[in-house]
Amino acid sequence: MLSRRVRKMNPSITVELTAKVEELRKKGGDIISFNVGEPDFNTPAHICKAAKEAINQGFTNYTAVPGMMELREAIAKKLQTDNNLVYQPHEILVSTGAKQALINGVLSLCDFGDEVIVPTPCWVSYIEMIKLAEGTPVLVATKEAAGFQLDIEKIKEAVSDKTKAVIINSPNNPTGAVYSEGSLRELGELAVKHDFYILSDEVYEKLVYDGEKHIAIASLSEAIRERTITINGFSKAYAMTGWRLGYAAAPEKIIQAMNGIQGHMTSGANSITQKSAVEALSGSQKTLEDMRKSFEERRQYLLKRLNNMKNLTCHDAKGAFYLIPNVSRYYGSQYNGNVINNSMELSEFLLDKAKIAVVPGAAFEAPDNIRISYSNSLKKIKKGMDRMEKALNLLKV
């Protein structure tokens, strides 16, 4: 029999859905993807060039497990300049994607039965990572009416003597919420008071709109920094999802533990990718800003379209590249005698009838919502929204 650990694990719905849409497309289905969790842009040319040079120069051997020094120095500089965070290279660990940085962090902190608080809606993998580490996820809902901001009072109620950590993600996947400085400060102070850690996943930090500002929680005080693992990566900021590179910054003791795990799991991240990441951080940042502006234009269009649809509301989220309209008024509605009961069934209806792929909110502990990614061209977004509106109008509410 397979391990208890694996038997308790749910598959990643986001990853599975991407494979399913690919399959339908191969069979000729004209599907518009709103399920995508990656930028629809190519990696900037100067970053690709650095990778080609690395190959030509024979930079193809193992690197140090925590990452090559040149890259860790570039990351330290970035953290100081962008986030007002001071870390030395030995307090930084480069990993194969932010995913690996996160699981290294969770495995380093969590023992059997330890509780890890996760504000919801949340990205699909946090809960499963905690379960893999034999910890107990403690889910604390945020409210749509409060813009999905952290509910500090509810988090206070969830803290117990078993609380080991909290995992936060701002800008948030799937809600798009960007947490306020005030709420981050309160959470940080709570962590100091009750002696728990903070895993802060900041992979969408560059994708904020409407003058919104991303705050790194570890920058708020020395005591907060002492108990925070800041996670970041190259996938979203530099359109480098396939290159697989992320990193963690934390006090040395934690980084050493994470490094120990990584040393047995995968060793250092891909050497060529690391070279290109140095270029990503130290080269021109123009393409990054161009990409952000495109997302902003799409976000505004999508938001307007969604809020103009009947029986549907959508919160004006200022970060990442997702919106999660509330579709719960369609639950109980009928099409061809079939009742649509939840976000799964509504998403299936939209895939079938409107030929658009969205992620059911249930995947993110957001049962009233569906997630729409605007990592797609304006033209496709327009066409997809036309189709969605038409399909929803077939439902009798």
For residues 114 and 365, which CB has a smaller minimum distance to ligand GLU in the complex? 365
The answer to whether residue 33 forms part of the interface with ligand GLU (CB under 6 A) is: no
Burial class of residue 111, CB neighbours in 10 A (0-12, 13-18, 19+): exposed
Measure CA of the first residue to CA of the last residue in the chain; give whole Å: 46
To the nearest whole angstrom, how small is the minimum distance from the Cβ of residue 207 to ligand GLU?
12
Contact at 8 Å (CB) between 203 and 247?
Answer: no
Q: Which does 378 bind (CB under 5 to 8 A by kind): ligand GLU, ligand PMP, none?
A: none
Can you tell me which of 6, 8, 10, 15 binds ligand GLU, judged by CB under 6 A?
15
Q: Which stretch binds ligand GLU (CB under 6 A): 12-20, 259-267, 269-277, 296-304?
A: 12-20
For residues 123 and 330, which CB has a smaller minimum distance to ligand GLU in the complex? 123
Q: Which stretch binds ligand GLU (CB under 6 A): 10-18, 56-64, 254-262, 282-290?
A: 10-18
The answer to whether residue 123 forms part of the interface with ligand GLU (CB under 6 A) is: yes
Q: Which does 201 bind (CB under 5 to 8 A by kind): ligand GLU, ligand PMP, none?
A: ligand PMP
Restricting to residues 123-142, name those near ligand PMP by CB under 6 A.
123
Restricting to residues 216-255, name those near ligand PMP by CB under 6 A.
233, 235, 241, 246
The answer to whether residue 269 forms part of the interface with ligand PMP (CB under 6 A) is: no
Q: Which does 230 bind (CB under 5 to 8 A by kind): ligand PMP, ligand GLU, none?
A: none
Q: Return residues touching ligand PMP (CB under 6 A).
A: 37, 97-99, 123, 169, 173, 201, 203, 233, 235, 241, 246
Residues in touch with ligand GLU (CB under 6 A) = 12, 14-15, 37-38, 123-125, 173
